[in-house]
Amino acid sequence: MFKGVEISRATKTKGIAVTYRAGPNKYDTCPNTCKLKPVGEAGTNKIDREYEKAIRDNVPRSGYSWLYTHFPPSKWSYIYKKGKAVFNFSADNLRQVKGSLKKNAPTVLVVGSNFWSRSSNSKRHYFEGVGLGVRCPAEYNKKLNCNNCGSGRPLCARPERTYFILFTDHSAKKDFSCYAGQKRVNLHWSRLASFAGLKSVFSSDAVQLKNFVRSLPPRSLLRHHVAGDIGR
């Protein structure tokens, strides 16, 4: 089940377009290997190729679109092509970051809530043998969010970058867990999942996505999957 929001009101994505995706179970579109899923929640092992292609090919005119996925780059149809949506691999650890960067795949990593208090630099950190991690600017500059990050071209929408993005864990639990399964995002995601059983009366997620992107004004910024992933 797919949902698009033309103008987000959330703090981090305020002013840009966002999407959500869910199956009858919220985590149905997420890879089964995702370590952020709650214990007992099943995901999928296969990418929805029709949907992946729809995301790749449908980008707001003169704008940018990007997403984060826990499916590894080895399972993507390709890493990146000019003018297409940017896929960011959400790595679980530095070993995965290193492997992803070797494939020239845009990569992000979540670090612990106390990471920056132990770092000599609050904006970036070099990991020996891996590379440079750059902190999401919205975390330390309250005047920034996805809408004005990178002067209109968000860091996460830059496939040519030579660094990986660091996000600080902001889950409500002690251990890393899926933020989408908590608080207000969880309410939206759960509501979307409740409609998934009626999917036969709706167009496919790929078709809904295409129609949504085409409805956006030129130069729009689009962040896919506030919750959900590209699984089948």
Q: Which residue has the higher pLDDT, 179 or 133?
A: 133
187 belongs to a structural domain: yes
CA-atom Rg of the chain in angstroms: 17
30 belongs to a structural domain: yes
Instruction: Give, rounded to a whole angstrom, the gap between the first and last alpha carbons of the chain.
Output: 11
Q: Is 152 helix (H, G, I), strand (E, B) or coil?
A: helix
% of the chain beyond a pLDDT of 70: 86
232 belongs to a structural domain: no
145 belongs to a structural domain: yes
164 belongs to a structural domain: yes
Q: What is the pLDDT of residue 104?
A: 97
182-209 per-position pLDDT tens digit = 566 666 666 666 666 555 557 899 999 9
Query: Is residue 88 within 8 Å of residue 69, measured between CB atoms?
Result: yes
Instruction: Look up the domain containing 18 and give its range.
Output: 2-227
Report the amino acid identity of residue 188. Answer: H
Q: Is 176 helix (H, G, I), strand (E, B) or coil?
A: coil
195 belongs to a structural domain: yes
Evaluate if residue 25 carries a pLDDT over 90. Answer: no
100 belongs to a structural domain: yes
185 belongs to a structural domain: yes
How many domains does one find in the chain?
A: 1
Q: Is 121 helix (H, G, I), strand (E, B) or coil?
A: coil
Tokens of 202: 């709706």
